Chains A and B, each alone.
Chain A
Amino acid sequence: MSAVAIPAVRRESLWSKAAWKLARDRTGMIALAFVLLYMLVAVGVTAGWWAADWSEVRGGKWEAMSAAHWFGTNLIGQDIFARAVYSTKTAFEVGLVVAVLATVIGAALGAVAGFFNGSWIDEVLLWLMGVLDSIPFYLFVAAIVFAMQDNPYAMHIAMISTFWTSVGRLIRGEVIKLRGLEYVEAAHAISVPEFVIIIRHILPNTTHILLVQATIMFVSAIKSEVILSFLGLGVKDGMSWGLMIAESSQEVMAGFFNNFLAASVLMFGLVMAFNMFSDALQDALDPRKVG
């Protein structure tokens, strides 16, 4: 009897609704296009299509921009453009590894803490998050670098170990909130096993938080990498925007800005695009967003 006047769109899940909203967000889509462009550059570097010669000396000291060297050359005559392009791959690698792993760890531990809210497990996890948040970041990275004897992934591990806590706290809070909702009680009433309740009814409803957090951590990871590499605590083998800026910090005093500008502008573009995409994603996924 109530099968009257059901609105037009059929089978509209919350996901398709969010995707539709995102697709209509023009700034968000432009930002996404930029991100994808950078990603293509990074993929190309990995596949060896371009910038494979970033470490070769191909010119003189501090050459100006030219057709051969689009952004000129550095102190020892390496092509700045190739180095900047190659660094895109480094940035993506750091960003992806850190964002994905920190999100996964944060989601898992946050969900556990939230589900065992009030028990000792929750207390221990909360304590761990508090501890990790209270260690100065650079010191923590340095400590891990020391402890891991110059392992190339020391920086990644340090970032993951500190970044997951923010995800963990958010997910913990959300799980506690969702556990009190009536549909979880309804699942209990039909004897759905606890772990199925977590997997089927609770975690899927935290994915919007995870997606947004992952984009935010991607950006943080790229920005941290640059500073850590500059300080000599980050990327050891290879090239990154941070190392380029470290190189350039001597050059700028001598009036040569190409290295600095190339790294800065490329990095700014990626971070800006990602920030804007992250905002659009958040708008599209936010269930209570009005106006």
Chain B
Amino acid sequence: MSGRDQIPLLDVRNLTKYFAVRGGLLRRVVAQVRAVDGVSLSIGKGRTYGLVGESGCGKSTLGRAILRLHEPTSGEVLLDGHDILKLRRSELIDRRRRMQVIFQDPFASLSPRRTVAQIIREPLDVHRIGTAAEREERVIALLDDVGMGAEIRDRYPHEFSGGQRQRIGIARALALEPDFIVADEPVSALDVSVQSQVLNLIAGLKKTRGIAFLFISHDLAVIQHVSDEIGVMYLGRLVEHALVDDLYAAPKHPYTKALMSAIPIPDPKTKRSRIILKGDVPSPMNPPSGCPFHTRCPDVMEICRSVVPATINVGRKDLPHHVSCHLYS
């Protein structure tokens, strides 16, 4: 684990994002949705942090808050040790070159009336990188990097399939040569046979360019393939974090266990006991007291109902495995 003691590329500390729900005649704040509630994580250079959780757990909001696409409520986001949340808008522009994003919906993430070349060139234009001719060359090179030919440069997004659009979106994200990319469910809208193509592309970029990823997904199988370490989110909180092999070999948190056992396995011979959770995820507007998972937890204890569990390391010092659960304290 090289670089463990150095400053990580990205260090997120105690990040929260609340959305205000307004109501009444004077539009007063009547409730807070705690989309992200005190999340800390760090990502080293060239590493991929997989963030997994079910819909509404706040994983996409977390990704956007890190990029300041949603302004966080509180916390710190340190890029190379500098807090980007303290930057003014104008300073942020420069920092944005180093952090990019890939979106989920390939049909909504490309401007419909602009050509492929215009879309990929836009970041270069905005940041005034190179001459016009150099930018044109860059576009061709970027298309090549994502496995597409130069001949598509003057076409429009609606002429492409979901997988091809996702490649174009990746080329746009690569244009500024970022150190860090937030990939928000980049394959979940794609057909299974295309998912693997795009996953291979992302894994390759990570290897050849040393880009760090925050890879957000609801699918543990997808996330296993691309990640070095994995964080599991539930109701706006990180409940478990470990290196990928550790987590899959020995999940600790009852929620992680349930999540893993719920995945259908495409092999009729594997028969296993499945943990079926009770009930539904509570509303983040009105989260349960104590441990957020206690309403559905099969191992719930008295203490879980009132006390929020602290995050502790149950792994080795050099191979940390964090979990927030009273079972381990």
Contacts and interface: CB of A to CB of B under 8 A. Distances in A.
Tell me, yes or no, whether A and B come into direct contact in the complex with CB atoms closer than 8 A.
yes
A182 interface: yes
A288 to B, nearest CB: 12
A205 B167 contact: no
B80 interface: no
Interface in A231-248: none
Most chain B beta carbons < 10 A, residue from A6, A15, A189, A192: A189
Contact of A12 (B109, B156, B164): B156
B100 A188 contact: no
A190 B156 contact: no
A192 B122 contact: yes
Contacts of A191: 92-93, 96, 126-127
A13 B113 contact: yes
B108 A189 contact: no
B164 A2 contact: yes
B69 A188 contact: yes
Contacts of A188: 69
A290 interface: no
B97 to A, nearest CB: 8
Contacts of B154: 11
A14 interface: yes
A187 B159 CA distance: 21
Interface string B75-104: 000000000000000001100100111011
B93 to A, nearest CB: 4
B123 interface: yes
B122 A187 contact: yes
Nearest to B123: A190
B245 to A, nearest CB: 30
A201 interface: yes
Given A14-B158, A183-B111, A187-B122, A2 B167 contact: yes
A186 B103 contact: yes
Contacts of B149: 3
B148 interface: yes
Contacts of B145: none
Interface in A123-173: none
Contacts of B92: 191
A1 interface: yes
Contact of B147 (A1, A189, A192, A200): A1
A185 interface: yes
Interface of B: 64, 67, 69, 92-93, 96, 99-101, 103-105, 108-115, 122-123, 126-127, 147-149, 151-152, 154-156, 158-159, 163-164, 167, 169, 172, 175-176, 197
Given A182-B105, A190-B96, A190-B126, 17 more contacts: A2-B197, A3-B148, A6-B159, A12-B156, A14-B156, A14-B158, A181-B108, A182-B104, A182-B109, A185-B64, A185-B101, A185-B103, A186-B109, A189-B101, A190-B127, A190-B172, A205-B113
Interface of A: 1-3, 6-7, 10-15, 181-183, 185-193, 200-201, 204-205
